[in-house]
Chains A and B, each alone.
Chain A
Amino acid sequence: MTSPIADFNRKRDEDSVEELSPFWGIEKGIVLQEARCFNDPQLDARKCQQVITKLLYLHVQGEFFTKTEITEIFFSVTKLFQSKNNNLRRMLYLIIKEICPTSDEVIIVTSSLMKDMNSKVDLYRANAIRVLCCIADSAILGQIERYLKQAIVDRSDAVSSAALISATHLSLADVDIVRRWSSEIQEAVNSSSPEVQFHALGLLYEIRKFDRLSINKLVAQLTRTQLRSPLAQCLLIRYVSEVIKDSAEDTVAPLHTFLQSCMRHKSEIVVFESIRAITSQHDLEAHQLVSVVNVLQLLLSSPKPSSRFAAMRVINKLAFLFPDLISNCNADIENLISDENKSIATLAITTLLKTGGDAAVERLLARIHSFMSEIQDEFKIMIIEAVRITCIRCAHKYRILLSFLSTYLREEGGFEYKQSIVRSIVQLFNAIPEAKELSLSYLSEFIEDCEYTQLSCEVLYLLGKETPYTTDPGKYLRYIYNRVILENPSIRAASISAMASIAVHCEMLKGRVLVLLRRCLFDSDDEVRDRACASIALLEKASAQKAGSLTTHTTEAFENVLLKYCQSNSDEPIDLQTIVTSSSANSESTNSASVLEQEHVISDISYSNIASVPYFATCGDVFKSSMKIDLTEDETEYKISCVKHIFDSHIVFEFICSNTIKEQALTNVTVAMEALGTSGLLEPTVLPLNVMPLTSYGSTFVVFDHEVGTQVEERFACTLKFVSKEIDPITGALEDDGYEDEYSIEDVELLATDFMRSARVQEFSQVWSESESYVENTFSNIVLPHDTVEKSVSHFSSLLGFSPCIGKTVTRNATLHTACFAAELSTGEHVLIKIALSMESQSSVTATVTCRAPQAQLCNQVLSVITC
């Protein structure tokens, strides 16, 4: 135990150390004040240097300087060119580069820097070149070009290097100006200084890299000489491997030999670079790698951790492609499992898992056990990943590997680590079906003590989805129900959904689940209660109706309502009440025979009654329902409108009728449809409407059979037929006798677009470019009588029956606009439509419509619909 006095002393020591820091309590404002010393007529070089250092310190610490402050600093700093002090000058160069003045300010320092560029002092020249090239614009470049060219072959290495490096930066912006110095650069490649040679070679390649022939020549020439600088040698290796990639197989043999010879270079950097070059070639073959692996093996036992790591990285990569080859150095790799650097150890383990045979797996897992406790989560994740791959490779070892994974599920760990284990297990049982039951039981044990809510919910969902198909789903119910008792609301809710899902799929467990769910009805959490309630209702309904799953039904109804709402451009909010009533009406209607009279639920959204008619229950899902078309004038006695529903093998015309005359009742209402074209549709089935309701709506149906996946175009003449009966004005009772009557309504057309619905397309341009093979046709210069582009877009939307996927909203007063529509057919094929609109005059919009469809006929049909 330390005495208080010792503590005190140590504290004071720490404080004093803190105070000793030259930047303790530094503030930007004060430093900017201090910077005024740059303007003193008698410069104090030492002080100025200190102030510059302070400014740079602030800069390094991430302090923000305003534009004015930077300008101010820059202007006062330029005064320091008066000083002859070398070290101050060096700091001056540095700070100019750091603050990087704007182009209109640069002019202040160019003359000073150009003077330094011609100085007798080498380092002035070198630094001035670097600074100038860093801040110069093209005008200044023109002025200094001559000097730069000369500087490349300067007798001083510093100047030469500076010029070459600066030229390399310049070449990225403007390669042409640098190309003019080609001969000087070529000369510098032969310099006696290794650095200059390195920089010159780099630059030479940059300016020639688009000239294959000259690069090939350069490489061929240089591979025969010995470069002084290891870095230059590395560059050469990179260029050689580029040339190999681009050249034919037979011409590159000498280059391969060169790469192999580089592995015997005395510099480790070069050796490693050549290994990287060889291993990154595309068509690697095992025999080329034998010597590489030998060298790597030597590097593995290098005393330097960085070399071991680098070698291990390459081996790990190779292990994927050539497990057999790498297994030769398994012994060396195994030694690295105990490496102090855990990154190396982890790489070693993952490599061994990849290369090791069946026999080695168990031994390795034992070693990993001792290792796992020492490493961080990120390495554990890498190991888990490797174990997963191993397991998929050695499928029959799944028991051992799964139990390994489950061990670590139980131990301490971060969220991402646990998640990686769970995901691995999921992937495993997807890949290896026989591992499923074992995996699920491990997972259900895991949720017993999982500390992460999100992960628990994930597992619960999975259990709900997967366990119904196992041999004994009941086993998992206990695990799941335990969560309801012990966990937080999110997990409880997830558990309830999981149990409901099991019950829906396993008839025999339904009773047990219902008992469990009823216990949850008094839960303190709203969501849990709601889910329990909904699930119970669902299960009870499902047992009454023997439907597979009701949830899908209600959500589908809800989805339909939402979709219709989206297409209707209505500003009214959706009335949730109507959805509930209409869906409950739907389910009731399935049980009762005379539904039509009961149907009172009318709203703009759910105007169609088709879902309530038992006849259509067996027809499958509606592929598309058209917009409602009015077939009568506004002020007539009867209001009739039509909705076209396309089923897979039926076309249904729903006539929605409403009576406006109180004294008269229309009974046995049907619509006679007479085909005017030659589409060859067979005689339809007619579903009459018993009584046309007064002020409310009822529907009569005409059903045609048609071939799956075909589009029919037809025009029908329609006549409303009914039996008219008088209503006694006093009693309100119907008279028994009526007379037959008919009423002529407008024609109904069946169009190609009725068979298309809006497709959900992620990226229209991508789908468009993928549809090259489709038939494309264009109608141009269609004049539309609209006075805004926006109206034209909604015109096309209503013709097609859905909104565009691109260009739905039109900017105000736009004169040019493009709208793109994507439609799908019942066959899953797409029809794509691009409409380019332009406002030619005040009162008309011109459109160009391009359509792509799988067949020419369809394409033309669609075009004629939209351009009529």
Chain B
Amino acid sequence: MSIPSVSSIVILDDEGKRVAVKYYETLKRARDVQFTFERNLFTKSSHLSGKGEVELLILDDYIAVHKASHDLRFYVAARHDENELILVSVLETLYEALCTLLRGVVDKHAALENLDLVLLVIDELIDGGLILETDPTTIVNRVSMEESMEHSLTEQTISQALATAREQISRNLLR
């Protein structure tokens, strides 16, 4: 038994094409293995209702959790003996952080337009397969390099935090 770990985070569009992916451990290596894996994820999840609920998939040696949002499909995969619900919480954190950063519209267009933010969220969420942070607000702050709030976070309401984050991002975008 070891520390809970994630073997990959995959974000695909509604045709199964890559938007953003990050592989850890063994899956990291062969590119065609990755593509096969993504195709399997996509076909296996295509029959799910995708009403925004997190669903579970089993693929050979891996277990994956899945969530659809507009034309995007999110997956978090791990070895098959991992605790499924931990993966669910990772996926939810990922989604919530993106929701904040993409201002509530999590679709392919927004994700590509802000790909830097998407990749940074993944980077702040998982480090080398280990779960780095599970609080979406903290992740949003770290992605936008907004550290003054790190300590005062508990006193702020979430909406305030979101407002600051948005302001920060728009400032950066307009610069």
Q: Which A residues have a C-beta under 8 Å from some C-beta of B?
A: 17, 20-23, 45-46, 49, 52-53, 56-57, 60-62, 86-87, 89-91, 94, 97, 121-123, 126, 130, 134, 156-158, 161-162, 165-166, 168-169, 195, 198-199, 202, 205-206, 231, 234-235, 238-239, 241-242, 268-269, 272-273, 276, 304-307, 309-310, 313, 340-343, 376
CB pair A123 B147 closer than 8 Å: yes
Q: Which one of B21, B35, B58 lies within 8 Å of A343 (CB-CB)?
A: B58
Are A268 and B85 touching (Cβ within 8 A)?
yes
Instruction: Give the interface centre of B1, B138, B144, B147 by most chain A CB atoms within 10 Å.
Output: B1
* B 42-61 to A, binary, CB cutoff 8 A, 1 in contact else 0: 00000111000111111000
Q: Which 9 A-B pairs have the closest CB atoms?
A: A238-B1, A86-B145, A309-B56, A202-B3, A310-B84, A53-B116, A269-B85, A306-B54, A306-B88
Give the docked Cα–Cα distance between A202 and B2 (Å): 8
**Cβ of A205: which chain B residues have Cβ within 8 Å of it?**
3
Q: Complex: how many Å from CA A479 to CA B22? A: 55
Q: Are B144 and A269 in contact (CB under 8 A)?
A: no
When A and B form their complex, what is the total count of cross-chain residue pairs whose Cβ atoms lie within 8 Å? Answer: 147
The listed residue with most B CB atoms (<10 A of its CB), out of A168, A307, A309, A376, is A309
Does B142 lie within 8 Å of A165, measured CB to CB?
no
Residues of B within 8 A of A168 (CB): 3, 130
CA distance A45 to B116 in the complex (A): 14
Kindly identify, within residues 125 to 175 of chain B, every residue whose CB is under 8 Å from any CB belonging to chain A.
127-128, 130-135, 138, 142-145, 147, 150, 172, 175
Query: In the complex where A62-B35, A157-B150, A306-B56 touch, is A56 in contact with B116 (Cβ < 8 A)?
Result: yes
Q: Are B112 and A122 in contact (CB under 8 A)?
A: no
Whole-angstrom distance between the alpha carbons of A248 and B112 in the complex?
Answer: 56
Please determine whether B83 and A87 come into contact, CB atoms closer than 8 angstroms. no
Q: Which of A22, A198, A199, A305 contacts B53 (CB 8 A)?
A: A305
Q: Are B4 and A234 in contact (CB under 8 A)?
A: yes
Chain B residues with CB under 8 Å of A199's CB are 130
How distant is the Cα of A158 from the Cα of B138 in the complex, in angstroms?
A: 9
B150 pairs with A156, CB closer than 8 A: yes
With a cutoff of 8 Å between Cβ atoms, the chain A residues found around residue B112 in the complex are 21-23
Closest CB-CB distance, A186 to chain B, in whole Å?
17
Separation of A126 and B139 alpha carbons in the complex (Å): 13
Instruction: Identify the closest chain A residue to B32 (Cβ).
Output: A62
Dominant SS among interface residues on chain B: mixed
CA of A837 to CA of B47 in the docked complex: distance in angstroms?
A: 64
Q: Is the CB of A309 within 8 A of B35?
A: no
- The answer to whether A376 and B47 touch across the interface, beta carbons within 8 angstroms, is yes
CB distance from B60 to the nearest CB of A (A): 11
Q: How far in angstroms is the closest Cβ of chain B from A716?
A: 64
Does B65 interact with chain A (Cβ within 8 Å)? yes
15 A/B residue pairs, CB under 8 Å, sorted by A: A22-B112, A56-B115, A122-B150, A158-B150, A161-B132, A165-B130, A241-B1, A242-B1, A272-B83, A305-B54, A310-B84, A310-B85, A340-B48, A341-B56, A343-B58
Q: Are B135 and A195 in contact (CB under 8 A)?
A: yes
| B55 adjacent to A305 (CB under 8 Å) | yes
Is B115's CB under 8 angstroms from A341's CB? Answer: no
Collect the chain B residues with CB atoms within 8 Å of residue A269's CB.
83, 85-86, 89
A89 to B143, CA, bound (A): 11
Contact in complex: A306, B127 (CB < 8 Å)? no
Shortest CB-to-CB span from A558 to chain B, Å, is: 42
C-alpha gap A89/B147 in the complex (Å) = 14
Question: In the bound complex, what is the Cα–Cα distance between A199 and B31 (angstroms)?
Answer: 31
- Nearest Cβ in chain B — how far from A50, in angstroms? 8
Chain A residue nearest in CB terms to B153: A157
B116 contacts A231, C-beta separation under 8 Å: no
B25 CB to nearest chain A CB (Å): 11
Question: Would you call B70 an interface residue if the criterion is a C-beta within 8 Å of the partner chain's C-beta atoms?
Answer: no
A376 to B142, CA, bound (A): 43
Does A231 lie within 8 Å of B34, measured CB to CB?
Answer: no
Q: Does A195 contact B134, Cβ atoms closer than 8 Å?
A: yes
Question: When A20-B109, A134-B128, A306-B55 are in contact, do A57 and B115 touch as well, CB less than 8 Å?
Answer: yes
Is the CB of B123 closer than 8 A to any CB of chain A? yes
What separation, in Å, do the CA atoms of A20 and B110 have in the docked complex?
10
Instruction: Provide the bound-state CA to CA distance between A134 and B56, in Å.
Output: 31
Chain A nearest CB from B66 CB (Å) reads: 9
Which B residues, 95 to 133, have Cβ-Cβ distances below 8 Å to chain A?
A: 109, 112-113, 115-116, 119-120, 123, 127-128, 130-133
Min CB gap A350→B, angstroms: 13
CB-nearest residue of chain A relative to B31?
Answer: A62
CA A376 to CA B143, docked complex, whole Å: 41
Q: How far is the CA of A49 from the CA of B143 in the complex (A)?
A: 14
Q: Which residue of A lies closest to B20 (CB)?
A: A60
Check B35–A123 contact: CB distance below 8 A: no
List 9 other contacts, CB 8 Å, given A21-B109, A87-B144, A202-B130.
A17-B109, A23-B115, A56-B119, A87-B172, A195-B133, A206-B2, A235-B4, A309-B55, A341-B48
Report Cα–Cα, A269/B130, bound state, in Å: 17
Contacting pair A304 B3 (CB below 8 A): no
Q: In the complex, which residues of chain A have a beta carbon less than 8 angstroms from the beta carbon of B143?
A: 90
Chain B residues with CB under 8 Å of A169's CB are 127-128, 130
Roughly how many angstroms separate A17 CA and B31 CA in the complex, as a whole number? 29
Give bound CA distance, A241 to B1, whole Å.
Answer: 9
C-alpha gap A333/B36 in the complex (Å): 33
In the complex the two chains form, is B147's CB within 8 Å of A158's CB? yes
Q: How close is A855's CB to chain B, nearest CB, in angstroms? A: 48
Across the interface, do B85 and A272 meet the contact criterion of CB distance under 8 Å? yes
Residues A94 and B119 in contact in the complex (CB < 8 Å), given A20-B109, A21-B109, A60-B20: yes
Cβ contact within 8 Å between B55 and A341: yes
Residues of A within 8 A of B138 (CB): 157-158, 195
Are B56's CB and A305's CB within 8 A?
Answer: yes
Query: In the complex, what residues of A have CB within 8 A of residue B57's CB?
Result: 343
A90 near B55: Cβ-Cβ < 8 Å: no
Separation of A343 and B138 alpha carbons in the complex (Å): 34
**Which single member of A20, A126, A310 contacts B56 (CB below 8 Å)?**
A310
Inter-subunit contact A52/B116 (CB<8 Å): yes
Q: Judging by beta carbons under 8 Å apart, are B47 and A231 in contact? A: no
Q: Establish whether residues B147 and A122, one from each chain, have CB atoms under 8 Å apart when the complex forms.
A: yes
User: What's the Cα separation between A162 and B120 when bound, in Å?
Assistant: 15
Chain A residue at minimum C-beta to C-beta distance from B168: A87
Please, how many angstroms separate the alpha-carbon atoms of A86 and B120 in the complex? 13
Which A residue sits closest to B46, measured CB to CB?
A376
Q: How far is the CB of A457 from chain B (nearest CB, A)?
A: 28
Contact: A62 with B18, CB < 8 Å? yes
- Contact residues of B between 53 and 96, Cβ < 8 Å to A: 53-58, 65, 83-86, 88-89
Question: How many Å lie between the Cα of A242 and that of B83 in the bound state?
Answer: 16
Contact B128 A62 (CB under 8 A): no
Nearest CB in chain B: distance from A10 CB, A? 16
Which residue of chain B has the shortest Cβ distance to A123 in the bound complex?
B147
Q: How far is the CA of A205 from the CA of B35 in the complex (A)?
A: 35
Q: Which residues of A contact B58 (CB under 8 A)?
A: 343
> Which residues of B have CB within 8 Å of A52?
116
Bound-complex Cα distance A17 to B85 (A): 36
- Closest-by-CB residue of A relative to B53 is A305
CB neighbours of B89 from chain A (8 A): 269
Question: A87–B145 Cα gap in the complex (Å)?
Answer: 6
In the bound complex, CA of A454 to CA of B37 (Å): 28
Q: Are B123 and A97 in contact (CB under 8 A)?
A: yes
Q: What's the nearest-Cβ distance from chain B to residue A815, in Å?
A: 39
Given contacts A121-B147, A158-B142, A161-B132, contact A234 B116 (CB under 8 A): no
* Residues of B with C-beta under 8 A to A343: 56-58
Are B88 and A276 touching (Cβ within 8 A)?
A: no
A23-B112, A56-B119, A157-B150 as given contacts; A123 in contact with B145, CB under 8 Å:
yes
| CB of A301 to closest CB in B, whole Å | 15
Contact of A235 among B3, B21, B84 (CB under 8 A): B3
How far, in Å, is B38 (CB) from chain A's closest CB?
A: 10
Q: Are A123 and B142 in contact (CB under 8 A)?
A: yes
Contacts of B115 in A (CB 8 A): 22-23, 53, 56-57
Closest to A50 in B: B116
Residues of B within 8 A of A60 (CB): 18, 20-21, 119
Q: Is A206 a contact partner of B3 (Cβ separation < 8 A)?
A: yes
Residues in chain B near residue A62, CB distance under 8 A: 18, 31, 34-35
